Homo-oligomer: A and B are copies of this chain.
Amino acid sequence: MERNQTDFVILGILAIHPDQSGYEIRKTVQQSVGFFWGESFGQIYPALKRLLANGLIVARKPASGAKATRQEYSITPAGRLRLQEWLAVPFRDDPPRDEFLLKLFFASDAGPGVALKQVAKFMENNRQLLATLEELQKLGATRSSHYAGFPYWMLTLDYGVRHLRMTLEWSQNAVVVLKALESPEKQEGRRKHV
């Protein structure tokens, strides 16, 4: 019960910025919480209908000039209340399923070479994402936004940046460990061939 998080993502996004279409909501989600949350159209459109039926959002044909097919949504007072209610419910932390760690855990069956490839991809992914988030952070710092949500957004961004930096530090060490496993000799800080 109370498990349909898509609804709340939409409410949250519309609470920050109203008059968005389903298409736009998805883009906003990707650009704001995308580094720790994803939503697909297959979930967004049905969710919008649900929210509409429950009076938590309202639909409006956009002002003339915009596309005729487009539907814009805004949050209602009831929707805002629902959102606030949900915010106060303790989050549940189920273990996030991490496929990378899973493969690494079992990797001895395939050897260090395979593990090193996975780690390399992991590093590359994280380096790129880190660059993006640091860019966002810099932008935020200069703009010193006046939105009420701003400090909260920056906290999550900071979390992301710290997380990615940690993964890169860890990766460097992992590479050293795996390379040592790769070469048959033990290289305990000494030359090869003992």
Contacts and interface: CB of A to CB of B under 8 A. Distances in A.
A91 B99 contact: yes
Given A106-B12, A152-B106, A163-B163, A36 B170 contact: no
A132 interface: no
Given A108-B152, A169-B162, A38 B95 contact: yes
Given A104-B156, A109-B87, A177-B155, A99 B5 contact: yes
A37 B166 contact: no
A114 interface: yes
A105 B170 contact: no
A48 interface: no
Interface string A38-50: 1000000000000
Interface string A150-181: 11110110110011001101100110011001
Contacts of A58: none
Interface stretch (A27-35, A64-72, A133-141, A183-191): A27-35
Interface string A87-114: 1101111111111111111111110001
A80 B97 contact: no
A115 interface: yes
B38 A104 contact: no
B103 A91 contact: yes
